[in-house]
Amino acid sequence: MARRVSIGVRVGEIAIGNGAPVVVQSMTNTDTEDAPATAQQVYDLWRAGSELVRITVNTPEAAAQVPHIRERLDAMGCDVPLIGDFHFNGHKLLSQHPDCARALAKYRINPGNVGKGAKRDDQFATMIEAAIQYGKPVRIGVNWGSLDPELLARMMDENGRRGAKDGASAVPLSADEVMREAMIVSGLESAAQARKLGLPAERIVISCKLSGVQDLILVYRELARRCEYALHLGLTEAGMGSKGIVASSAAMAVLLQEGIGDTIRVSLTPEPNGDRTREVVVAQELLQTMGLRSFTPLVAACPGCGRTTSTYFQELAQRIQTYLRDQMPAWKQRYPGVEDMKVAVMGCVVNGPGESKHADVGISLPGTNESPVAPVYVDGEKTVTLKGARIAEEFQAIVERYVQDNFSPGAQRRRPSRPQAVLSGPQAVAIKAVK
Ligand code: SF4
């Protein structure tokens, strides 16, 4: 799989672009003025695997809390780089709160929300100058919901005159086409303006987010073609639950498959009191199921059917997946490479043994009317048959032992991981080296 060549950007210790692994990021939904709650959510997102976390910086009080949020995180042993999300008053906040400007690792600037008329350029320049002064990268984050109205009006006018001026052969673009083009122009013109002010290309990331899957694909393909800036990928306003997950995955998978995208965010609307970390899990699973990165051992499970009428195998699959994910923060340090492990939990004898043999550790549970025994396969070989009331506990112990035996430092893994996608091109690195 070839990745688009992009200019590398460092955000704190995290590398974006230039062949680096696709970075997972997320955003808090706490009030930034509430430093304890925001620090806790940043911590939770980081523990879930978010490599960068963005926080809203919308008021002087919020800006004043940013350094304290950073201090709290440092005290919790969390070094995740914080990104400040600025709109409307970012120029004031960055110039009046130098400690905030320093504590952040990157600034997100929305060129559609920087200011109107003559003020726009000055206010944009103030933010870029802060980035230059404090040595920070910026994301020029265009969003179709806040697309620069003056730019859009200008491009609509130009489009209207196009047919009249150039004759019948020059067909004006549709309104949707102009909007998509305006998104790209907004990102590229703002980046050019930032460069002119002295911000190097190595400190610029661009995003152009829309909520339509096809629109997003079209815009990013074109953006990728026209520039070498690192690209932040995400479908905006993706929605809630399965709709948001499917829409984000559909859009981003197409682009990632084409090598486009250096960092991703899955913008899920959480259910009331829902877990914000779900967007991190979805982003990781998207990258891992595409073979782009590995984060956590994955559990293959069959969907179940009329051959298995109990929910036991579903419960076991869920239990094992949760167990593996919960162990990862500690396992990541202790058992290098464990994230590549594959576990199978299958519902009956039809596909159970076969799928289990393909996994590193697999169990084939008994279907309806089958003998109440569960053969376990390790590295493709049947090793034990479990039965009775403690199958779940015993299987979990087998998985844990497999991890210790195969992933402890110095352990010789009996069955090496299948190779993952390998990058090509002049800036290529092997994705399998990604951790
Ligand atoms: S493995 Fe068995 S229970 Fe699972 S879907 Fe296939 S036939 Fe049904």
Which tens digits make up the pLDDT trace of 308-326? 877 888 899 999 999 999 9
Residue among 264, 312, 307, 315 at smallest CA distance from 285: 264
132-160 confidence digits (pLDDT tens): 999 999 999 999 999 999 999 999 999 98
As a whole number of angstroms, the distance between CA 5 and CA 2 comes to 9
Determine if ligand 1 sits within 6 Å of the CB of residue 308.
yes
Binding site membership of 280 for ligand 1 (Cβ less than 6 Å): no
DSSP state of 181: H
* Confidence check: pLDDT of 369 > 50: yes
* The two three-digit tokens of residue 415, written as one number: 């069955």
Higher pLDDT, 172 or 25: 25
DSSP string, 67-81: HHHHHHHHHTT--PP
Task: Tell me the C-alpha to C-alpha distance, in Å, between residue 288 and each of 60, 217, 298.
Answer: 40, 21, 9
Please, which pLDDT band fits residue 47 given cuts at 50, 70 and 90? very high
pLDDT tens per residue, range 92-120: 999 999 999 999 999 999 999 999 888 99
Using DSSP, state whether 15 is helix, strand or coil: strand
Say how far apart CA 56 and CA 85 lie, in whole Å. 5
- Report residue 50: phi and psi, to 5°: -75, 125
| Confidence label for 162 from pLDDT (cuts 50, 70 and 90) | confident
What confidence score (pLDDT) does residue 169 get? Answer: 63
Mean local confidence (pLDDT), 50-72: 98
CA–centroid distance, residue 393 to ligand 1 (Å): 22
How many residues make up the chain in this entry?
435
CB distance 306 to ligand 1 below 6 Å: no
Min mean pLDDT across 93-97, 256-260, 269-273, 284-288 is at 269-273
Among residues 326, 319, 339, 305, the alpha carbon closest in space to that of 417 is found at 339
Hey, what are 68's tokens? 């304290």
Closest CA to 34 of 61, 60, 58: 61
Numbers of helices and strands, H then E, in the chain: 13, 17
- Name which residue sits closest to atom 2 of ligand 1, judged by CA: 348
Over residues 411-420, the pLDDT tens digits come to 877 665 544 4
- Predicted TM-score of the model (pTM): 0.91
Interatomic CA distance for residues 316 and 322, integer angstroms? 10
Region 303-309 average pLDDT:
88
Which atom of ligand 1 has the smallest separation from the CA of 355?
A: 1
Q: How far is the CA of 305 from the centre of ligand 1 (A)?
A: 6
The burial class, CB within 10 Å (0-12 / 13-18 / 19+), for 239 is middle
Q: Is 347 in the pocket of ligand 1 (CB under 6 A)?
A: yes
Neighbour tally for 366: CB within 10 Å = 22
Comparing CA positions, the residue from 200, 199, 162, 159 lying closest to residue 179 is: 159
Exposure string for 276-293, b = 16+ CB within 10 A, e = fewer = bbbbbbbbbbbbbebebb
Other CB atoms within 10 A of residue 369 CB? 8
Q: CA–CA separation, 114 vs 124, rounded Å?
A: 6
**Is the distance from CB of 296 to CB of 263 less than 8 angstroms?**
no
Residue keyed to tokens 């504590």: 103
Q: Which numbered atom of ligand 1 lies nearest the CA of 303? A: 5
* Percentage of residues in the chain having pLDDT higher than 90: 84
> Nearest 5 degrees, angle CA 80-CA 85-CA 89?
145
Q: Beta partners for 14?
A: 11
CA of 292 to the centre of ligand 1 (A): 29
In this structure, which residue's CA is closest to atom 7 in ligand 1? 350
Reply yes or no on whether the pLDDT at 174 is more than 70.
yes
Q: Which is nearest to 233 in space by CA: 249, 297, 10, 242? A: 249
Burial class (CB in 10 A: 0-12, 13-18, 19+), 371: exposed
Q: Is the CB of 53 under 6 A from ligand 1?
A: no
Task: Calculate how far, in angstroms, residue 349's C-alpha sits from the geometric centre of ligand 1.
Answer: 7
351 lines ligand 1 (CB under 6 A): yes
pLDDT of residue 375: 95
**Best of 299, 307, 349 for a ligand 1 pocket test (most atoms within 8 Å of beta carbon):** 307
Residues forming a β-bridge with 5: none
Mutate which of 299, 348, 356 for ligand 1 pocket (most atoms within 8 A of beta carbon): 348
